[in-house]
């Protein structure tokens, strides 16, 4: 009722009133900040796919270690390459890593988690022991092993991070799904005669989706961090593909010469990760059923 | 013996076995003939074949696996191809650097996290809380090796208070050695500390909403007393799990950070051995780290029985 | 009779997602030594918020107005440190959920003894002894064994006994029991209510019993407040109120209860609509949109409390219509 | 309603007529659950949730099951609904053993028995619209198209006092009472012969509870549905049910027409239960108060299950289990000293 009698309001204040998803999202400051940073990351990747100020791989030995200027916004590196262009292009790599590794983890992990939860008993025990076991290899260790076996390279690094994500999602979705399985609406579906597979698809999956989406953003951020570390060690993206992690390892050898070279790529990683984390945390707050449900 | 303990112990052993198999299998995939790697690209085919036979490369995989594990169980390690000494000697020298580094980082993490987490939770939604949580959000986002580089830039390059890397060895004196580990430990602990601080805070806040906290307040306990006497221990239960996982991440994180600071620990060893295709070293070190991680998680599970009386009687 | 607790136009405003909500409005009562005041109403009527306001344990962001006097001292004006000295000593409270209201990691004896150590400055051993005595007194079988156990080892009824022992540790002047038996089985419920009644009579404290169950209130309370939408709609002695409900809500509530023994031959009278959300109350009488007597004036006027009989008042503009309706 | 809808209903009706049996018959039902093992060297314990329950419920009848927590009443509901398999004994619905049926056969038979749950907030999937929730049993049955289902949903929503347009809203937009109406609509949509209601009104406020109770009674009169109504609230059972069974520790200790049971109980447990109910009348009453609490269901001793708390218990009660015997007019009690409460 109070909605109608409100005085004329700006579009923004109209959007942010009420209790719908977008209204709550637009009121959530860190969600907005996270969304902005994440959007920026995507934008950088998209733009750089079509246009960069300079060719990020083109060297120019007359212009080494140039300070920031109107032509070169962030200056140039030890090969005279335009830093801004490299950073811009590096976003593509980060997005690729995040998307692929999360997709791997998501598809296998969620399927395993749902299976474990739907079947219980031995199946659940097996899936849980598998993920226990997988947790014995922290992401970086697993990746090092993978890369040691398959050889360094972006694809292997992404694969390793993706494999690491599988038990993460398996565990999460199994826990969330188990909680859903105890609800009475599942019992209702069973009394209607629905089988386990059908209940899983029609009731369990939609209800655990919010949790999974939140975790996906967080794992996305972790994937960017892990890939950067691998590339820093020289096990990930290989030259000349622009990668923020590798830029840092190159910059480290030059810290006495130009410490700023180590600042930009690190900042790019940190802001991307920050953005995704804020986005994920914000989503968690906004989707939280305890808030959306009005008793 | 309780079923809980038995199951945990069984899991522990099975996980170790599986980890060893996975490590072995993964390194089987390594392209290239190890004998060729050892002898160099110019070696004659005869010499390569002879070495293969000598080192057992021509035998079936399961037999080599059984030898490897059998050897480890008896404390016998193979020789490294590159260093020509038993792997154990290599590991031993580095273990006494890497483990102290990880423990040092864990101590810093815990101190960091508990101070900030408890402070933030006790000032829930007030400026102090918002500020601490904002900083921790930043801390999580910073890659540890970048932070390491920044620390070097600031404290070694600009201020000159620390060396930019290297490790003098424990012979150089405890404090001298510790000083060399300080920057790496901070680089490792910042991220983990930020994660743990957030987790500690939310765990505390969750427990603060429990009914028994209201009961304690109704008895006349002040907010502070309730926090210390009732909330903290309950909130610690989930925090301990995370700490177990974090110690594992710290151990693994040394792989990166040791390389930034050129500290001759396990991380650096494994990294160099990959470069040298020294499979024997890689697989032993990987298994070593995995075993440490699994053992820590096993200990964490045991710790529960101490913290939580509900676990003593029964468990799944 | 000596008045131990008095509320004078107590108002509680909560901070909710939908804006400020007045959970309790202008609530007044006085509680005498050795008497039991029952507060009855459905979910969201403000009965629990009243209890928490008296205890000074309202959720964050809540505001209070009016006064709550304990022996003449205004509790709402005290800071938390002063309030801590009163809570658990002069006023104690028992909560609804015995399963979650005890700390799972502390032994029963330590939890019961805590208030003693805090307010009476007892040592560990002395508090333990007293706790043992208290557990015996609230009828816990085998107290010597139970005192060293953890809450998960006790049944729901036993835990509620432990809660009572905790609340009574310092022999408070006022005991607030908020739905103390709602989570318990009916045969256990009887035991617990009898125990609370007996202990209250023994120590002469004032008892505030909060329940949604008219039966529980009728059998245990001396005086009754009926609350709806944050307001007291009817108030008086238990005798008077249960002999003849005056407010249309109280009448409707009573008529809606299936009476044991009435069987299938009767038909329940219902109140149309649903319990209101305190964040979204209409101006005027909170019951107007469900009330059979409501007229246009009810939408704009908050009805004052008016006398119905000896020690019996109700807040309705059309009390004279009540005779026809009842 | 569409032609096909009618046809289906006719099939259901003839099904019912053909069997000409009780809607629900339960024979010597047992259900034991294994407890998780605590020690390697000891046998895992068991929970004896149901220990030999017999029930019959005729068409359009209503049977109330009352008892305290842990008496096995919810287990009974789950077994009747075919959600779990009995350890021993049999559940027949419209003359067919539901444990003997499988797959499509059971799924099809399910339209004859539906359930209403306790928690109005937990029993409706928060991510589905009301229309989809209510139509759920139809979806499983198959054989109807979207238009027919929409029509049936609209009809059944109106029957339970909601609007047809409510089908496009989500459960969280409704109050507790309205949600319970939605749950009733879901149970009603296949025109079942039996509805099992497990504490279906206990989560509701009294003023709202009365609305749902009246709705349930009206629906029974209109459609001739049989109710198995499980509740801890004796008043509610008395209002809704013709016959009442009292359960204690997985057994029925007394069964009788509601009037007889509430007027003159024969089992001391029933008596204690009745007297424990607080009544909204001024003043305290004298009553029989039971000591102790319901014992754990993990052991099975000899003798009467209630002997431990019974004020009348004699040596015979501890040694010999009393059978459920008839005392005329459909009044059964499992007590060696029925109607004798001296003690």
Domains of chain B: 2-73 (no CATH), 87-315 (1.10.3720.10)
Closest CA to B213 of B198, B201, B196, B228: B228
* Span D108-120, pLDDT tens digits: 999 999 999 988 8
Between chains, do C97 and B210 touch, taking CB under 8 Å as contact? no
* Cβ-defined contact of B6 to D40 (cutoff 8 Å): yes
- Residues from B contacting C (CB-CB < 8 Å) are 124-125, 210-212, 214-223, 229-230, 233-234, 307-310, 313
Q: How confident is the model at residue D20 (pLDDT cuts 50, 70, 90)?
A: low
For residue D140, how many C-alpha atoms fall within 13 Å in the half-sphere facing its CB?
30
pLDDT tens, C100-149? 999 999 999 999 999 999 999 999 999 999 999 999 989 888 899 999 99
pLDDT digits (tens, 9 = 90+) for D274-303: 988 888 887 666 677 777 777 777 777 788
CATH 1.10.510.10 fits A79-294, yes or no: no
Mutate to test the interface with A, among D125, D178, D180 (most CBs of A within 10 A): D125
Residue D8 pLDDT greater than 60, yes or no: no
In whole angstroms, what is the distance from residue A158 CA to residue D334 CA? Answer: 70
Helix (H) or strand (E) holding A218: helix A205-232
Domain residue spans of chain A: 79-294
CA distance linking residue B260 with residue A262, whole number of Å: 13
What residues does CATH 3.40.50.300 cover in chain C? Answer: 3-90+173-187+203-323
Cβ atoms within 10 A of the Cβ of D211, count? 23
- B5 shares contact with chain D (CB less than 8 Å): no
Residues 131-150 of C with CB under 8 A from D: 141
- Which region among C232-236, D91-95, D274-278 has the lowest average model confidence (pLDDT)? D274-278
Looking at per-residue confidence, does D55 or D144 come out higher? D55
- Disruptive mutation site among D34, D36, D37 for chain B (greatest number of B CBs within 10 Å): D37
C268 and chain D in contact, CB less than 8 A: yes
Helix (H, G, I), strand (E, B) or coil at C277: coil
pLDDT in tens, C50-78: 999 999 999 888 999 999 999 999 999 99
Residues 251-290 of C with CB under 8 A from A: 277
**Record: contact B221-C55, CB cut-off 8 A:** no
Task: Point out the least confidently predicted range of B296-310, C82-96, C110-124, C289-303.
Answer: B296-310
Token pair for residue A46? 């998209």
With CA atoms as reference, the chain D residue closest to B311 would be D38
Q: Quick check: A62 pLDDT over 90?
A: no
pLDDT of residue D210: 92
Which of the residues B31, B145, B164 would you substitute to probe the A interface, choosing the one with the greatest number of A C-beta atoms within 10 Å? B145
Question: CB distance C18–A19 less than 8 Å?
Answer: yes
What is the C-alpha to C-alpha distance for residues A57 and D178, in angstroms, rounded to an integer? 66
Among C133, C151, B309, C295, smallest CA distance to C287 is for C295
Instruction: Compute the distance between CA of residue B145 and CA of residue D277 in angstroms, rounded to an integer.
Output: 69
Distance CA B172, CA A181 (A): 60
> pLDDT tens digit string along A270-295?
999 999 999 988 888 787 644 433 32
How much is the pLDDT for A7? 43
CB atoms A19 and C277 under 8 Å: no
Closest-CA residue of chain D to B6: D40
Question: Into which CATH architecture does domain C3-90+173-187+203-323 fall?
Answer: 3-Layer(aba) Sandwich (3.40)
Nearest Cα of chain D lies from the Cα of B315 at a distance, in angstroms, of: 7
Average pLDDT, chain A: 82
pLDDT, tens only, A113-131? 999 999 888 888 888 888 8
Residue ranges in chain B modelled with pLDDT below 50: 313-316
**Taking CB atoms and an 8 Å limit, are D36 and B313 in contact across chains?**
no
Facing A229 at nearest CB: one of B143, B164, B293: B143
User: Does D278 contact C260 at a Cβ distance shorter than 8 Å?
Assistant: no
At residue A18, the pLDDT reads 61
Which residues neighbour D300 within 8 Å (Cβ) at sequence distance 6 or greater? D48, D51
Mean pLDDT of D209-232: 93
Q: Which has the closest alpha carbon to A224: A44, A141, A100, A39?
A: A100
Contact D250, D72 (CB under 8 A): yes
Give the closest of D206, D235, D276 to C187, CB-based. Answer: D276
Work out whether strand D88-93 and strand D113-116 pair parallel, antiparallel, or are unpaired: unpaired
Read off the pLDDT band of C212 (50, 70, 90): very high
Backbone dihedral angles phi then psi of residue B86, each to the nearest 5 degrees: -60, 140
Q: Mean pLDDT across chain C, nearest whole number?
A: 90
Residue C273, classified by CB atoms within 10 Å of its CB into exposed (0-12), middle (13-18) or buried (19+), is middle
Tokens representing residue D51 in the block: 């220990």
Closest CA of chain A from D229, distance in Å: 16
Searching chain D, which residue's CA lies closest to the CA of residue B4? D38
How are beta strands D332-333 and D325-326 bridged, if at all?
antiparallel
Q: Tokens 């000896």 belong to which residue? A: C310
CB < 8 Å from D in window 83-112 of C: none
Residues of D in contact with C276 (CB under 8 A): none
What integer pLDDT is reported at residue B83 of this predicted model? 79
Token match 């069987």: residue?
C263
């Amino acid at each position: 009722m109070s909605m109608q009698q409100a005085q004329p309001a700006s579009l923004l204040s109209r959007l942010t009133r009420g209790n719908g998803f977008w209204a709550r999202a637009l009121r959530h400051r860190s969600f907005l900040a996270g969304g902005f940073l994440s959007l920026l990351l995507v934008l950088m990747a998209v733009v750089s796919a079509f246009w960069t100020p300079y060719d990020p791989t083109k060297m120019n030995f007359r212009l080494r270690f140039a300070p920031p200027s109107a032509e070169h916004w962030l200056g140039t590196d030890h090969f005279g390459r335009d830093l801004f262009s490299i950073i811009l292009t590096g976003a593509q790599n980060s997005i690729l890593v995040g998307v692929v590794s999360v997709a791997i983890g998501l598809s296998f992990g969620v399927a395993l988690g749902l299976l474990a939860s739907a079947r219980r008993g031995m199946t659940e025990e097996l899936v849980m022991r598998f993920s226990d076991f997988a947790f014995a290899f922290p992401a970086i260790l697993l990746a090092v092993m993978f890369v040691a076996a398959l050889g360094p390279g972006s694809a292997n690094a992404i694969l390793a991070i993706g494999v690491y994500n599988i038990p993460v999602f398996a565990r999460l979705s199994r826990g969330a799904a188990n909680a859903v399985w105890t609800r009475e609406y599942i019992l209702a579906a069973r009394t209607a005669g629905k089988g386990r597979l059908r209940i899983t698809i029609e009731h369990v999956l939609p209800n655990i989706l919010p949790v999974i989406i939140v975790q996906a953003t967080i794992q996305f951020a972790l994937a960017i961090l892990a890939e950067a570390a691998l590339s820093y060690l020289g096990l990930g993206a290989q030259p000349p593909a622009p990668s923020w992690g590798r830029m840092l390892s190159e910059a480290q050898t030059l810290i006495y010469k130009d410490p700023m070279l180590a600042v930009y790529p690190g900042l790019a990683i940190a802001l991307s990760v920050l953005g995704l984390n804020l986005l994920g945390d914000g989503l968690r707050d906004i989707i939280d059923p305890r808030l959306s449900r009005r008793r | 013996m309780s079923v809980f303990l038995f199951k945990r112990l069984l899991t522990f052993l099975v996980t170790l076995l599986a980890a060893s198999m996975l490590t072995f299998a993964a390194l089987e995939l390594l392209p290239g003939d190890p004998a060729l790697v050892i002898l160099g690209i110019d070696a004659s085919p005869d010499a390569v074949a002879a070495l293969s036979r000598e080192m057992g490369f021509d035998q079936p995989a399961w037999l080599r696996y059984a030898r490897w594990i059998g050897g480890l169980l008896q404390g016998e390690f193979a020789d490294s191809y590159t260093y020509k000494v038993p792997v154990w000697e290599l590991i031993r020298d580095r273990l006494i650097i890497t483990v102290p580094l990880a423990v040092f980082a864990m101590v810093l993490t815990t101190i960091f996290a508990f101070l900030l987490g408890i402070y933030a939770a006790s000032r829930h939604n007030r400026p102090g809380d918002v500020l601490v949580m904002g900083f921790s959000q930043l801390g999580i986002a910073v890659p540890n090796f970048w932070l390491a580089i920044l620390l070097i830039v600031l404290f070694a390059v600009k201020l000159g208070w620390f060396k930019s890397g290297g490790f003098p060895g424990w012979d150089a004196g405890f404090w001298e050695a510790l000083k060399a580990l300080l920057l790496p430990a901070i680089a490792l602990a910042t991220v983990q500390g930020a994660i743990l601080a957030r987790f500690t805070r939310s765990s505390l806040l969750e427990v603060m909403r429990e009914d028994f906290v209201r009961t304690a307040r109704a008895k006349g306990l002040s907010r502070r007393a309730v926090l210390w006497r009732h909330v903290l221990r309950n909130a610690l239960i989930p925090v301990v799990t995370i700490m177990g996982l974090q110690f594992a991440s710290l151990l693994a994180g040394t792989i990166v950070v040791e390389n930034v600071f050129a500290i001759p620990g396990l991380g650096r060893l494994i990294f160099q051995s990959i470069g040298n295709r020294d499979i024997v070293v890689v697989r032993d070190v990987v298994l070593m780290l995995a075993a440490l991680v699994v053992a820590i998680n096993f200990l964490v599970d045991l710790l529960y029985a101490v913290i939580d009386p509900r676990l003593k009687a029964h468990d799944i | 009779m000596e008045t131990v607790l008095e509320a004078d136009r107590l108002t509680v405003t909560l901070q909710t997602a939908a804006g400020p909500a007045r959970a309790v409005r202008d609530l007044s009562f006085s509680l005498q030594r050795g008497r039991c005041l029952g507060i009855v109403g459905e979910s969201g009527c403000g009965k629990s918020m009243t209890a928490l306001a008296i205890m000074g344990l309202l959720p964050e962001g809540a505001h209070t107005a009016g006064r709550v006097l304990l022996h003449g001292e205004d509790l709402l004006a005290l800071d938390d440190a002063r309030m801590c000295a009163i809570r658990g000593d002069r006023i104690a409270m028992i909560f609804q959920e015995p399963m979650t209201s005890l700390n799972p990691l502390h032994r029963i004896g330590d939890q019961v003894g805590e208030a003693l150590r805090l307010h009476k400055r007892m040592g560990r051993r002395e508090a333990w002894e007293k706790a043992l005595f208290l557990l015996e007194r609230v009828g816990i079988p085998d107290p010597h064994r139970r005192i060293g156990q953890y809450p998960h080892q006790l049944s729901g009824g036993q835990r509620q006994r432990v809660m009572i022992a905790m609340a009574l540790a310092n022999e408070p002047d006022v005991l607030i029991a908020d739905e103390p038996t709602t989570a318990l089985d009916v045969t256990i419920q009887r035991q617990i209510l009898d125990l609370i009644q007996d202990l209250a009579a023994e120590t002469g404290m004032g008892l505030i019993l909060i329940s949604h169950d008219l039966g529980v209130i009728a059998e245990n309370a001396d005086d009754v407040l009926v609350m709806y939408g944050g307001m007291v709609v009817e108030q008086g002695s238990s005798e008077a109120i249960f002999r003849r409900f005056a407010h249309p809500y109280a009448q409707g509530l009573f008529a809606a209860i299936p009476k044991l023994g009435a069987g299938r031959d009767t038909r329940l009278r219902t109140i149309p609509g649903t319990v209101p959300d305190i964040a979204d109350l209409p101006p005027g009488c909170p019951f107007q949109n469900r009330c059979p007597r409501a007229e246009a004036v009810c939408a704009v006027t908050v009805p004052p409390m008016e006398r119905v009989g000896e020690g019996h008042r109700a807040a309705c503009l059309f009390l004279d219509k009540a005779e026809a309706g009842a | 309603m569409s032609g096909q809808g009618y046809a289906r209903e006719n099939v259901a009706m003839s099904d019912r007529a053909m069997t000409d049996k009780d809607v629900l018959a339960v024979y010597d039902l047992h259900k034991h659950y294994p407890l998780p093992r605590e020690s390697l060297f000891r046998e895992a314990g068991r929970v004896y949730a149901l220990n030999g329950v017999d029930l019959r419920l005729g068409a359009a009848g209503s049977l109330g099951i009352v008892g305290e927590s842990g008496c096995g009443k919810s287990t009974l509901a789950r077994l009747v609904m075919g959600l779990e398999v009995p350890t021993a004994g049999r559940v027949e619905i419209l003359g067919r053993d539901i444990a003997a049926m499988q797959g499509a056969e059971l799924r099809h038979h399910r339209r004859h028995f539906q359930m209403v749950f306790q928690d109005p907030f937990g029993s409706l999937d928060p991510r589905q619209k009301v229309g989809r929730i209510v139509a759920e049993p139809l979806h499983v049955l198959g054989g109807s198209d979207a238009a027919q289902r929409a029509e049936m949903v609209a009809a059944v929503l109106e029957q339970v006092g909601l609007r047809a347009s409510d089908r496009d809203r989500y459960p969280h937009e409704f109050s507790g009472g309205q949600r319970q109406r939605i749950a009733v609509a879901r149970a009603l949509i296949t025109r079942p012969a039996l509805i099992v209601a497990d504490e279906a009104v206990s989560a509701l406020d009294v003023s709202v509870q009365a609305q749902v109770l009246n709705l349930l009674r009206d629906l029974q009169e209109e459609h001739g549905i049989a109710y198995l109504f499980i509740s801890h609230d004796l008043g509610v059972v008395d209002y809704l049910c013709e016959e009442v069974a009292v359960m204690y520790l997985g057994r029925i200790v007394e069964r009788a027409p509601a009037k007889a049971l509430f007027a003159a109980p024969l089992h001391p447990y029933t008596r204690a239960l009745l007297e424990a109910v607080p009544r909204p009348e001024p003043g305290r009453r004298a009553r029989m108060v039971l000591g102790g609490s319901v014992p754990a269901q993990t052991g099975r001793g000899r003798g009467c299950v209630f002997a431990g708390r019974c004020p009348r218990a004699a040596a015979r009660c501890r040694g010999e289990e009393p059978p459920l015997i008839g005392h005329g007019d459909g009044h059964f009690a499992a007590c060696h000293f029925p109607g004798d409460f001296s003690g």
